[in-house]
Amino acid sequence: MRILLVEDDSGVAGFIVKGLTEERYAVDLSADGEEGFMMANAIAYDLIILDVMLPNLDGISICRRLRRQGKSVPIILLTAKDAIEDRVTGLDMGADDYLTKPFAFPELLARIRSLLRRGSGKTALRLKIRDLELDPVTHQVWRAGQEQTLTNKEYAILEYLMRNENRVLTRSAIIEHVWDIQYDNLTNIVDVHIRSLRAKIDREFSEPLIHTVRGVGYVLKSQHS
């Protein structure tokens, strides 16, 4: 899952980025409203977190513009404790949720998970494809009942593949969802991580699930070959 955070307070931004990165989200950060709005238009984010008070373009205006363009990406607003009017206006402009500062990170994480589940249309927490299971809450992965220990990036790639079962994902698409905007997409880093992931969830089992589509990318197939 890839998240855009638009927050000009470096302390708050650092706190959120660190926490989300540890939770295996790819996070892009902007401290400027105009830049954040441009990034939201350029990249297909799974969720956007907007501070209300931003330089050049405030968070409510960003939310309003995105909704007018027809973008349905989940949006969380961060507001000052006493800014009731901002919260009401933000929700009226299309925001999905809000948090008042200061807030506990577990609460932000719970709200993110709730919105992502709602956006995917899936009420069940666990993803299951044949004998492969993934729990997005605990970040545990099992193959044929055996728990597999994955790195952060291996887990993020596997979750992305499972949420797009039977759909071929290009290397560029995987990079865009798993790595942040600063990453050089000209490297072979996706192939390296796929090899490592296959060694853990495919190699010792009867039938592989991750398949290479030569010249295009990778697909996780739910049907038997």
The residue type found at 158 is: L
Map out the domains of the chain with their CATH numbers: 2-120 (3.40.50.2300), 127-220 (1.10.10.10)
pLDDT score recorded for residue 120? 54
- Max distance between CA atoms of the chain, in angstroms, equals 58
pTM of the model: 0.69
φ, ψ for residue 138, nearest 5 deg: -90, -15
With vertex at residue 116, the alpha carbon angle to CA 165 and CA 130, rounded to the nearest 5 degrees, is 30
Where would I find the beta strands (DSSP E) of the chain? Answer: 2-6, 26-30, 47-51, 75-79, 97-100, 127-129, 132-135, 140-143, 146-148, 169-170, 210-213, 217-220
pLDDT score recorded for residue 81? 64
pLDDT score recorded for residue 124? 47
With vertex at residue 25, the alpha carbon angle to CA 130 and CA 111, rounded to the nearest 5 degrees, is 90
pLDDT score recorded for residue 117? 73
The residue type found at 30 is: S
pLDDT average per 10 residues of sequence, the chain (225 residues): 91 92 87 95 90 93 92 90 73 87 90 78 68 85 92 90 90 81 70 93 88 91 70
